[in-house]
Amino acid sequence: MIGTDVTDHSRRLLNDEREGLYRWPQDTLIMYLNQAIERLYSVRPDLKLQSDDSIDTDDALTTGAETLLMPNKFLEPLALSVTACALREDGIDSANIAVAQGYDEMFMLKVKV
């Protein structure tokens, strides 16, 4: 999976698919994706382990074209977390904050071992 797979899924959840008229710029979603990856690693540190038992120390993504070295089953949870971050931007919209909390809860349910 690559970064844009996650951000495209997140855009569908956000109803933000009109290219050229995006509410959330790709750079912002990539920033949220990096946060989501760190969050995933904090819940599932086993995902950072390499086959030789060393720790993966890859730098953060800078573009959506970079490959994420983790199972594809984490695409949806990462997209849920990115979506939650984007919705939290609307700190004054209580409905969006509530929806973001729901996406956070779904993220946690999907990444548990």
pLDDT in tens, 40-59: 999 998 888 765 555 565 66
Q: How far is CA 13 from CA 9, 45, 48, 62, 75, in A?
A: 7, 27, 27, 22, 13
Angle at 3 between CA 111 and CA 21, to 5 degrees: 115
* % the chain with pLDDT above 90: 61
Nearest to 14 by CA among 81, 59, 91: 81
Q: Residue 66's pLDDT is what?
A: 86
Rg (CA), the chain: 14
| Inter-CA distances, 14 with 17, 56, 96, Å | 8, 31, 10
Q: What is the pTM of this model?
A: 0.88
pLDDT of residue 71: 87
Residue 53 has a pLDDT of 56
In tens, the pLDDT along 61-80 reads 887 888 888 889 999 999 99
Model pLDDT for residues 11-20, shown as the tens digit of each residue: 999 999 998 8
